């Protein structure tokens, strides 16, 4: 018996018993519907989340640490602590020349004892000294600030809100954070631009210990940093020479930059796709790093697992629905017992009989799969339109919370047919083993 004949016979038998066919197919359709909708929901959530993450420009930033790279996974729990590894101008140049890098920031972080501006004094202020051959602010941070429309409308999105940014030639100029001015009680940013600021570094007086003369640095305020930026807090931003002087005072040493190098280095990748390759190149240079873009890949893997679990939950319902196929096909075998005897008497083999019932099982699965697919597609359109209309969860036009791909539809239809055919194996095997003489006597 040809496969085409089996298919014709299968649909003919299913058509004769419409009510039973509809009930069995309905159970399969529910399973198919759930598999497709859950798969589409997992795909939609994953896509929306990853698109939002990719829009976060901060994900393009890679923080390079002045330590040797240590592969924690390879080393295990007993991994040694990372050794110090200097980041100097030569290394900064290598970072800048890595393919996919758009900018580099390099600085030295320290703290000063007191700051005096317009006869107002503040103690314990952070000082960031940057290598002015490179950028002080990166585009990724600016774009990230701009994304928060509410805050950027109120405070602006540019890093400098008064005055101007530091230049390479600014040896005695600094930027002050908006937060610093607020603590000093100064509300007019423009009024402090061009004013002299006194920065003092000193050790506390300890009885019995020799006193060390304080280090006093006098500089001009070049500009004020927006509070939405890291340097916009209680921070003074100057050049690396100033920061080196402060560190040399604390450590009682000389030539700090050449000896110790930079401890605050940020590499900006041109786009999210470049983060992985740039990170790999930094690793090849044997430097430890933190790349937020790597977290994006981890999040993507979590969503992938979430999607698989959703599909698996729907598949379980489909497997339960296959019990109905077994019941339906068992009844079909019972009803066709005499016909099976006639077919065997005319020379039909066990293989032919078995194929006939397996094809009928698969046909049931196909009908259920098509019905479930059509309902799933219609449901997804309705769900997406309702979510956009009511802006549920921040869903906007163009977004799909249920994103059904062709691959999930094809997979589900094939999976449904295969499950139905497997469910029909038991009744088909029983039909193939029937004795032709007993079958002909069956009433």
- pLDDT given at position 180: 96
- pLDDT given at position 200: 96
Q: Among 139-148, 233-242, 361-370, 405-414, name the one with the lowest average pLDDT.
A: 139-148
Q: What is the mean pLDDT of residues 123-144?
A: 93
pLDDT digits (tens, 9 = 90+) for 296-337: 777 778 888 888 988 898 889 888 888 888 888 888 777 777
State the Cα angle at 419 between 415 and 421, rounded to 5°: 115
- pLDDT given at position 443: 47
On average, the pLDDT of the chain sits at: 87
Cα 73–chain centre separation: 21
Q: Helices 292-335 and 425-432, interaxial angle, to 10°?
A: 30
**Confidence tier at 162 by pLDDT (50, 70, 90):** very high
**pLDDT higher for 297 or 366?**
366
CB atoms within 10 A of CB 71: 9
- pLDDT given at position 439: 55
Buried b (16+ CB within 10 A) or exposed e, 122-152: beebbbbbbbbebbbbbebbbebbeeeeeeb
pLDDT digits (tens, 9 = 90+) for 9-19: 778 888 888 88
Q: Among 170-174, 220-224, 392-396, 397-401, name the one with the lowest average pLDDT.
A: 392-396
d(CA 358, CA 332): 12
- pLDDT given at position 78: 47
d(CA 194, CA 190): 9
- pLDDT given at position 54: 67
Q: What is the mean pLDDT of residues 42-65?
A: 84
Helix or strand or coil: residue 113? Answer: strand
pLDDT digits (tens, 9 = 90+) for 61-82: 999 999 999 875 544 454 456 7
Question: Kind and range of the H or E element at 430?
Answer: helix 425-432
Buried b (16+ CB within 10 A) or exposed e, 235-268: bbbbbbbbbbbbbbbeeeeeebbeebbbbbbbbb
Q: What is the mean pLDDT of residues 180-185?
A: 95
Contacts of 191 (CB under 8 A, 6+ apart): none
Residue pair 371/32 in contact (Cβ under 8 Å)? The answer is yes
- pLDDT given at position 285: 95
- List 239's β-bridge partners, or say none: 130
- pLDDT given at position 220: 97
Q: Among 136-145, 170-179, 198-207, 434-443, name the one with the lowest average pLDDT.
A: 434-443
Q: Among 172-181, 208-217, 282-291, name the one with the lowest average pLDDT.
A: 208-217
Q: Is the pLDDT of residue 437 over 70?
A: no
Cα 20–chain centre separation: 47
- Matching residue, tokens 């196929």: 325
Residue pair 108/250 in contact (Cβ under 8 Å)? The answer is no
State the Cα angle at 288 between 287 and 294, rounded to 5°: 120
* Tokens read off for 195: 């004013």
d(CA 10, CA 365): 12
- pLDDT given at position 355: 86
How buried is residue 76: exposed, middle or buried, by Cβ count under 10 Å (0-12/13-18/19+)?
A: exposed
pTM of structure: 0.67
Question: Kind and range of the H or E element at 39?
Answer: helix 18-55
Q: What is the mean pLDDT of residues 370-394?
A: 89
- pLDDT given at position 393: 64
- Measured over the CA atoms of residue 337, residue 343, residue 347 and residue 350, the dihedral's sign is negative
- pLDDT given at position 289: 93
**pLDDT higher for 356 or 3?**
356
Q: What is the mean pLDDT of residues 40-58?
A: 82
Report in angstroms the alpha-carbon separations of 425 from 120, 212, 361: 89, 92, 8
211: left (phi over 0), alpha (psi -120 to 50) or beta: beta
DSSP string, 156-192: -SSSEEEE----TT-SSEEEEEHHHHHHHT---HHHH
- Matching residue, tokens 């038991």: 426
Portion of the chain with pLDDT greater than 70, in percent? 93
pLDDT digits (tens, 9 = 90+) for 268-304: 999 888 888 999 999 999 999 988 766 777 777 888 8
């Amino acid at each position: 018996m040809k496969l085409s004949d089996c298919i014709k016979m299968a649909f003919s038998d299913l058509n004769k018993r419409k009510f039973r066919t509809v009930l069995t197919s309905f159970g399969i359709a529910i399973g198919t519907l759930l598999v497709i909708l859950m798969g589409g929901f997992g795909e939609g959530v994953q896509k929306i989340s990853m698109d939002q993450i990719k829009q976060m420009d901060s994900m393009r930033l890679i923080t390079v640490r002045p330590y040797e790279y240590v592969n924690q996974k390879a080393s295990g729990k007993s991994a040694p602590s990372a050794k110090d590894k200097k980041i100097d101008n030569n290394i900064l140049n290598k970072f800048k020349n890595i393919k996919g890098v758009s900018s580099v920031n390099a600085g030295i972080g320290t703290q000063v004892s007191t700051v005096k501006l317009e006869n107002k004094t503040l103690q314990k202020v952070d000082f960031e000294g940057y290598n002015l051959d490179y950028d002080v602010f990166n585009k990724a941070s600016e774009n990230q600030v701009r994304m928060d429309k509410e805050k950027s409308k109120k405070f602006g999105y540019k890093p400098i809100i008064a005055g101007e940014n530091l230049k390479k030639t600014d040896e005695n100029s600094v930027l002050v954070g908006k937060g610093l001015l607020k603590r000093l009680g100064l509300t007019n940013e423009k009024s402090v631009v061009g004013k002299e600021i006194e920065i003092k570094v000193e050790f506390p007086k300890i009885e019995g210990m020799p006193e060390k003369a304080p280090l006093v640095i006098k500089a001009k305020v070049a500009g004020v940093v927006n509070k939405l930026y890291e340097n916009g807090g209680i921070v003074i931003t100057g050049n690396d020479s100033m920061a080196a002087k402060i560190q040399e005072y604390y450590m009682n040493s000389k030539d700090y930059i050449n000896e110790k190098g930079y401890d605050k280095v940020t590499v900006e990748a041109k786009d999210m796709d470049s983060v992985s390759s740039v990170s790999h190149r930094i690793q090849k240079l044997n430097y430890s790093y933190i790349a937020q873009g790597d977290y994006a890949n981890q999040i993507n893997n979590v969503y992938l697992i979430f999607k698989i679990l959703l599909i698996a939950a729907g598949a379980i319902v489909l497997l339960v629905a296959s019990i109905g196929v077994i019941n339906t096909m068992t009844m079909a075998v019972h009803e066709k017992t005499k016909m099976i005897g006639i077919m065997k008497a005319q020379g039909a083999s066990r293989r032919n009989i078995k194929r006939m019932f397996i094809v009928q099982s698969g046909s049931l699965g196909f009908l259920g799969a098509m019905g479930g697919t059509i309902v799933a597609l219609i449901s997804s359109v309705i769900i997406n339109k309702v979510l956009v209309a009511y802006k549920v969860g921040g869903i906007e036009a163009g977004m799909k919370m249920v994103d059904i791909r062709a691959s999930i539809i094809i997979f589900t239809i094939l999976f449904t047919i295969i499950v139905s055919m497997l469910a029909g194996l038991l009744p088909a095997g029983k039909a193939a083993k029937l004795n032709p003489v007993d079958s002909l006597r069956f009433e």
